[in-house]
Structure 1
Amino acid sequence: MQPFKFARLRYRPLGPADAAGLFALDSNPNVLRYLGTPPLTGIAQSRAALVRIQADYRAGTLARWAVERRDTGEFLGWAGLKLNHDPVNGRSGFIDLGYRLLEPHWGQGYGTEAGRAWLARGFGALRLPLITGYAEAAHGASRRILEKVGLALVNLFDDASGTPCAWYEARNPAAGPA
């Protein structure tokens, strides 16, 4: 896939130049509050994550992309679709819609815009039949984004660590009934 634009944002593959931005994102405990993962402690961890992401790109596997402001090119975080093989809510091999933004950019509609862009890309160019998303049940902001972009709550479940979570799904309208 080629980089693309949607309203105020631009989406492109993550690359080595994004290591500092990813480190700023994933070393912030506020960003990670509802993810159950500890903050990164060194930029080498971001570089290692980029190596894994770029391997997914080369393999043709769906992976997260950088999110930038169209007007300034400023790195805001990442968003996109990802093929998830790990079991979650009794499922594996599902397409997960995700987004993570730097804290100064919260509350400005960027998460919703990114979710809409990737849902449109997934159902349009990629012709995916089903896109899912999940968030901790207590993470109201992320749940609102999933609902605003068109995913419907399917069920509540406890993740592997026992944390209550909410599972959402959207079916491609062009795919017909399930």
Structure 2
Amino acid sequence: MEAIITTERLVLRKMNHQDVDDLFEMDADPAVHLYLWNKPVKSKEEVVAVVNMINQQYIDNGIGRWAVIDKATHECIGWAGLKLIKEPVNGHVNYYDLGYRFKQKHWGKGYASEAARAVIAYGFEELGLDLMYAITDIGNANSQKVLEKMGFTFKTVFDYDGDPTNWFELTKAAWEERS
């Protein structure tokens, strides 16, 4: 397992086809997709296509979402990472977006915060970023709490594909102040 980042409880590494069953379990769960357009996946083939797309992002952009592995059980419990967004979103283009998603059975255990903290540090320290963004559905209070805990600042609500969405920002300077 080629670790990119390790934390106290987690290993973050590139996604691969061995993760498909775990990612299917996560993305087929309607509760996981409550704030993601309510479109859970229906087949493992859909997950394979996503893994292939993310693997292409690693090649094209040098970055993408990573599988999050529980060190104790070796289970893929979700994903977290940065994504280079090349299409215009909320008046921004060519920016880095922090994202994370976990299996419902692992919610409330601090994994999102632990993974987000590691990804943010990687972005600022290893990639040399000065700024990153994150978005959440306006109803997703738990994700918003994670972002605020990491030091992200709420900036605005915008229309994202017909859904009101919160826009957050974190500067390297603000991150370093907290660290």
Scaled by the length of structure 1, what TM-score is found?
0.92
Structure 2 counterparts to residues 27-38 of structure 1, below 5 A: 27-38=28-39
Asked whether the 8 Å contact 2:80–2:116 carries over to 1, the reply is yes
Q: Residue 69 and residue 15 in structure 1: after superposition, are their counterparts in 2 closer, same or farther (change >3 A)?
A: same
Deviation at 1:40, TM superposition (A): 0.8
Q: Distance in 1 between matches of 2:59 and 2:159?
A: 33
In structure 1, distance between residues paired with 2:59 and 2:139: 36
Q: Which amino acid aligns with 1:14?
A: M
2:3 and 2:11 in contact (8 A); partners too:
no
Query: In the alignment, is residue 119 of structure 1 matched against residue 100 of structure 2?
Result: no
State the partner residue of 1:41: 42
Q: Report the counterpart of residue 25 of structure 1 in structure 2.
A: 26
TM-score under structure 2 normalisation? 0.91
Letter in 2 for 1:82: K
Q: How many residues align?
A: 175
Query: Is the contact between residue 30 and residue 38 of structure 2 (CA under 8 Å) also seen in structure 1?
Result: no
Q: Tell which deviates more after alignment, 101-110 or 20-29.
A: 20-29
How far off its partner does 1:25 sit?
1.2
Q: Deviations over 1:15-35 (max 9, x none)?
A: 010111111111111001101
Q: How far apart in 2 are the matches of 1:126 and 1:74? A: 27
- Residue 62 of structure 1 is matched in structure 2 by 63
Moved over 6 A (4+): none
Question: Partners of 1:60 and 1:86 in 2: how far apart?
Answer: 14
Q: Cα offset for 1:45? A: 0.7
The one-letter code of the counterpart of 2:25 is A
Deviations 1:91-121 (A, max 9, x none): 2211000000000000011011111111111
Change (3 A) 1:84 1:101: same
The aligned counterpart of 1:5 is 6
Q: Deviations over 1:124-174 (max 9, x none)?
A: 11111111001011110010011111111111222231x221111111129
Q: What's 2:51 paired with?
A: 50
What CA distance in whole angstroms lies between the structure 2 residues aligned with 1:172 and 1:28? 35
Matched AA of 2:37:
G
Asked whether the equivalents of residues 22 and 75 of structure 2 are also in contact (C-alpha less than 8 Å), the reply is no
The residue correspondences of 1:1-178 to structure 2 (distance < 5 A) are: 3-161=4-162, 163-173=163-173
Cα distance in 2 between the residues matched to 1:109 and 1:175:
19
Aligned sequence identity (%): 36
- Aligned partners of 1:129 and 1:175 also within 8 Å: no
Report the secondary structure of 1:18's partner residue.
Answer: helix
Q: C-alpha offsets along residues 8-61 of structure 1, whole Å, 9 cap, x if unaligned? A: 111000001011111111111100110115111110111111111111112243
Q: Is the 8 A contact 2:31 2:104 kept in 1?
A: yes
More displaced 10-residue stretch of structure 1: 104-113 or 19-28 = 19-28
Which runs of 5 or more structure 1 residues have no equivalent in the other structure? none
- Residue identity in the other structure for 1:172: K
- Cα offset for 1:175? 10
Q: 1:72 offset after TM fit, Å?
A: 2.1
Amino acid in structure 1 at the alignment position of 2:67: A
